[in-house]
């Protein structure tokens, strides 16, 4: 099967490599020429623009299949705008990025081709194993792309059509919300172990947990790796957690659906709190109030 891949960053490149490894033909484009060259070295056919990529896909007389792996937001719309004149109804476009699901619904409605929104989980660390793909959009288009999904995912079990347009990115959004909470939950456990009564080897704790314990998971394997690589006290890793867009969307959807998500919210709030460079105003006020009624000393900075 021939596919065009637009966007050759870390994730896009893995998509290319996995497609090639499964004997698919790939036409590859990125705004970074070096990334295109590298993909070409790996076996892809290079394109020097999006129109050029679209043209090259015409060759076989088949309909076009195009996989977008560009950053969520404007870059997706920009790529689609360039693609649009070249798209026919029988073509299929896949957006494999972390797009907001309502954007995907909108794009599916306006795109001349069939449009699949594809949530992709597994991260760069999943390159060898393959990804988990949550896909929304028309059934025919999903069926048409199955050989490609088999290659990019862990295999046939690693992809599934969730439902109509938007549902793929919707499920991925909530996946990420859960991910925030899981990370923070492990964090709480290891913080208590680290601050607690025993002098413990945390890599060893994670390792024994990963062998048969109820809480074993891939994230826990990554905890084990973290302690192995950074040391028992995590070395110079700072107390600052970046990111947050998909978690924010998850919480917003919870508000919309009136579903309480206290763990996910708290995990997101910890990220925000870790980035409060000037201290948390709420706590500074609480500290001052202790003086207000109780004349307790106020720590000053």
Question: Is 187 a residue that touches its own copies (CB under 8 A)?
Answer: yes
Question: Is 178 a residue that touches its own copies (CB under 8 A)?
Answer: yes
Nearest distance, CB of residue 279 and its own copies, angstroms: 3
137 annotated as belonging to a binding site for a ligand:
no
Of 4, 12, 130, 137, the residue at the interface with its own copies (CB under 8 A) is 130
Nearest distance, CB of residue 193 and its own copies, angstroms: 6
Token pair, residue 240, equals 């600052």
> Does the annotation count 64 as an active-site position?
no
Nearest distance, CB of residue 141 and its own copies, angstroms: 17
Question: Is 107 a residue that touches its own copies (CB under 8 A)?
Answer: no
Token pair, residue 234, equals 């995590």
Euclidean distance between CA atoms 243 and 271, whole angstroms: 8
Residue 284, CA atoms < 13 Å, CB-side half-sphere: 7
Token pair, residue 125, equals 């660390």
Question: Is 69 a residue that touches its own copies (CB under 8 A)?
Answer: no
Q: Which residues on neighbouring strands pair with residue 161, listed in sequence order?
A: 135
62 annotated as belonging to a binding site for a ligand:
no
Euclidean distance between CA atoms 76 and 115, whole angstroms: 12
Euclidean distance between CA atoms 117 and 220, whole angstroms: 29
> Contacts with its own copies in 203-262 (CB under 8 A)?
204-205, 207-220, 222-223, 225-226, 230, 234, 236-244, 248, 250-255, 257-262
- Site for its own copies (CB under 8 A): how many residues? 134
> Contacts with its own copies in 76-105 (CB under 8 A)?
none
> Does the annotation count 179 as an active-site position?
yes
- List the catalytic residue out of 179, 221, 253, 270: 179
7 annotated as belonging to a binding site for a ligand:
yes
* Residue with the two structure tokens 């720590």: 299
Question: Is 151 a residue that touches its own copies (CB under 8 A)?
Answer: no
Question: Is 290 a residue that touches its own copies (CB under 8 A)?
Answer: yes
273 annotated as belonging to a binding site for a ligand:
no
Cβ neighbors of 156 (< 8 A, separation 6 or more) are: 146, 150
* CA-wise closest residue to 131 among 115, 151, 147, 117: 151
Nearest distance, CB of residue 64 and its own copies, angstroms: 26
Q: Which residues on neighbouring strands pair with residue 163, listed in sequence order?
A: 136
Of 122, 140, 147, 150, the residue at the interface with its own copies (CB under 8 A) is 122
> DSSP letters of 248-288?
HHHHHHHHHHT---HHHHHHHHHHHHHT-TT--HHHHHHHH
Rg (CA), the chain: 23
Q: Residue 162 — φ and ψ, nearest 5°?
A: -80, -40
CB nearer its own copies, residue 78 or residue 259: 259
Question: Is 143 a residue that touches its own copies (CB under 8 A)?
Answer: no
115 annotated as belonging to a binding site for a ligand:
no
Active site residues per annotation: 172, 179
Binding site members for NAD(+): 7-12, 70-72, 98
């Amino acid at each position: 099967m021939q596919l065009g891949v637009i966007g050759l960053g870390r994730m896009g490149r893995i998509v290319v490599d996995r497609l090639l490894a499964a004997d698919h033909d790939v036409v590859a484009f990125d705004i970074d020429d070096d990334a295109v060259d590298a993909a070409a070295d790996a076996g892809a056919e290079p394109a020097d623009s999006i129109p050029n990529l679209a043209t090259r896909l015409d060759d076989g007389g088949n309909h076009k299949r195009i996989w977008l792996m560009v950053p969520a937001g404007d870059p997706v719309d920009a790529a689609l705008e360039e693609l649009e004149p070249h798209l026919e109804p029988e073509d299929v476009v896949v957006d494999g990025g972390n797009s907001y699901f309502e954007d995907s619904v909108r794009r599916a409605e306006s795109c001349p081709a069939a449009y699949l929104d594809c949530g992709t989980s597994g991260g760069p660390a999943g390159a060898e194993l393959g990804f988990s793909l949550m896909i929304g959009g028309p059934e025919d288009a999903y069926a048409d792309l199955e050989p490609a999904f088999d290659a990019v995912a862990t295999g046939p079990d690693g992809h599934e059509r969730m439902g109509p347009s938007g549902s793929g990115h919707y499920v991925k959004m909530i996946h990420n919300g859960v991910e925030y909470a899981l990370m923070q939950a492990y964090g709480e456990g290891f913080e208590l172990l680290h601050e607690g009564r025993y002098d413990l080897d945390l890599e060893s704790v994670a390792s024994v947990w990963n062998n048969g314990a109820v809480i074993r998971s891939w994230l826990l394997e990554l905890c084990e790796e973290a302690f192995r690589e950074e040391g028992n006290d995590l070395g110079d890793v700072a107390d600052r957690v970046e990111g947050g867009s998909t978690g924010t969307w998850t919480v917003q959807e919870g508000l919309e659906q009136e579903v309480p998500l206290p763990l996910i919210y708290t995990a997101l709030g910890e990220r925000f709190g870790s980035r409060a460079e000037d201290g948390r105003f709420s706590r500074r006020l609480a500290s001052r109030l202790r003086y207000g009624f109780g004349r307790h000393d106020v720590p000053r900075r």
